[in-house]
């Protein structure tokens, strides 16, 4: 088997390249995976690409199989789907998801891969990491029957949260975004859509995922008294201001964070990382999630594509990277 692979590296902030890397010989507890496709997590990866990870978050922001260090050079990414070429008999030939960067082949412990269900196409399974974030956010938010809910920010994470919440009985879910083109995404996911100025207020719960100061302020405005904003946005090295005067105290509003690096305390004692990821893959049997993939490129094109994603020249949600045989 070929012992050389090709990997995408951030050489310096704003500049990526593809490098040849040597693959280690696997031992009996490891698998060799040939990548079929990977996904660019637009928010986090473009922040990493421009060198926007704060120094005090360099350790917390490390991806499971990251090489190098922030700001650069670094090999970063965590949405990878491939086929097991070598490893335990029960995994041979299986399609698996792994939190691995963009690389043509790789060697990881067998327990680091999760088998993709047969009813989930590999091309859709690249969303598993994002849907896993959505699952954790919903566990943190703990919605109740009949809740009025808004999701502000129809990016990859926000749209995934809306899709998961839409499965709850008797809830009103509205996906809110400043881009009217995201109405099509909302329709595909089976949820209502509204521009920020038209969004329904009186919400019991608002999940904020726009990564903008205006989006967070609007989220507070949409809450009913005693309501909660669950903040999913990652601002990196940017500082934002928050209107904590006005009616924030008199309406007894709450802002709380959610972060996928820790299993929600609401489920932590009973569920682990593996179960959370398996649940995300199970949810991806629903073809409506295909609406979250808005672009594709070949692996060799990635150094030229990531700057365009980071600048916003290439708009959309998840960008899927395709690998040849």
Per-residue pLDDT reduced to its tens digit, 48-85: 999 989 898 899 889 999 999 999 999 999 999 999 99
Compute the average pLDDT of residues 24-29. Answer: 94
Tell whether 244 and 147 lie within a shared domain.
yes
The token pair at 17 is 């390249």
Tell whether 222 and 210 lie within a shared domain.
yes
Tell whether 71 and 159 lie within a shared domain.
no
The answer to whether 85 and 34 have CB atoms below 8 angstroms apart is: yes
Q: Can you tell me the distance from the alpha carbon of 156 to that of 121, in angstroms, rounded to the nearest whole number?
A: 18
- Mark 31-52 as b/e (b = at least 16 C-beta within 10 Å): bbbbbbbbbbbbbbbbbbbbbb
Nearest Cα to Cα of residue 36 among 87, 109, 85, 108:
85
Number of domains in the chain: 2
By the 10 Å C-beta count (0-12 exposed, 13-18 middle, 19+ buried), 123 is classed as middle
Q: For residue 268, name the pLDDT band (cuts at 50, 70, 90).
A: low
CATH value at residue 300: 3.90.180.10
Tell whether 10 and 109 lie within a shared domain.
yes
Tell whether 196 and 138 lie within a shared domain.
yes
pTM: 0.90
* Residue 82 β-bridge partners: 35, 96
CATH value at residue 241: 3.40.50.720
Q: Can you tell me the distance from the alpha carbon of 35 to that of 251, in angstroms, rounded to the nearest whole number?
A: 51
Tell whether 56 and 94 lie within a shared domain.
yes
60 assigned to some structural domain:
yes
Domain region containing 51: 4-127+284-322
Q: Can you tell me the distance from the alpha carbon of 308 to that of 110, in angstroms, rounded to the nearest whole number?
A: 35
The pLDDT of residue 180 is: 97
- Single residue among 214, 241, 257 that ends a domain in this structure: 257
Q: Can you tell me the distance from the alpha carbon of 226 to that of 20, in angstroms, rounded to the nearest whole number?
A: 55
The pLDDT of residue 76 is: 97
Indicate whether 1 pLDDT > 70.
no
The token pair at 256 is 């709380």
């Amino acid at each position: 088997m070929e012992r050389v692979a090709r990997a995408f590296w951030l050489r310096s902030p704003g500049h990526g390249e593809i490098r040849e890397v040597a693959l280690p010989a696997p031992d009996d507890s490891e698998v060799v995976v040939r990548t079929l496709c990977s996904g660019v997590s637009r928010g986090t990866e473009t922040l990493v690409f421009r060198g926007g990870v704060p120094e005090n978050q360099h350790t917390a922001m490390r991806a499971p199989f990251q090489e190098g260090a922030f700001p650069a050079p670094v090999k970063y990414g965590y949405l990878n789907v491939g086929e097991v070429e070598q490893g335990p008999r029960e995994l041979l030939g299986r399609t698996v998801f792994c939190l691995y960067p963009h690389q043509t082949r790789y060697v990881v412990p067998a327990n680091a891969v999760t088998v993709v269900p047969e009813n989930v196409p590999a091309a859709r399974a690249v969303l598993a990491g994002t849907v896993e974030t959505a699952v954790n956010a919903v566990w943190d938010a703990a919605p109740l029957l009949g809740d009025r809910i808004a999701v502000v920010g129809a990016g990859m994470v926000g749209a995934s949260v809306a899709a998961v919440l839409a499965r709850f009985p008797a809830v009103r879910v509205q996906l809110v975004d400043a881009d009217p083109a995201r109405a099509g995404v909302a329709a595909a996911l089976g949820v209502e859509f509204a521009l920020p100025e038209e969004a329904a207020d009186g919400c019991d719960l608002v999940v904020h995922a726009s990564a903008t100061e205006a989006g967070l302020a609007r989220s507070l405005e949409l809450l009913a008294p005693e309501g909660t904003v669950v903040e999913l946005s990652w601002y990196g090295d940017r500082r934002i201001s928050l209107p904590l005067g006005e009616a924030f105290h008199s309406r007894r509003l709450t802002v709380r964070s959610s972060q996928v690096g820790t299993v929600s305390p609401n489920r932590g004692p009973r569920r682990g990382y593996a179960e959370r990821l398996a649940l995300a893959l199970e949810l991806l049997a629903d073809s409506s999630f295909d609406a979250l993939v808005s672009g594709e490129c070949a692996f060799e094109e990635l150094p030229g594509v990531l700057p365009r994603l980071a600048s916003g020249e290439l708009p959309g949600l998840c960008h899927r990277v395709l690998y040849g045989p």
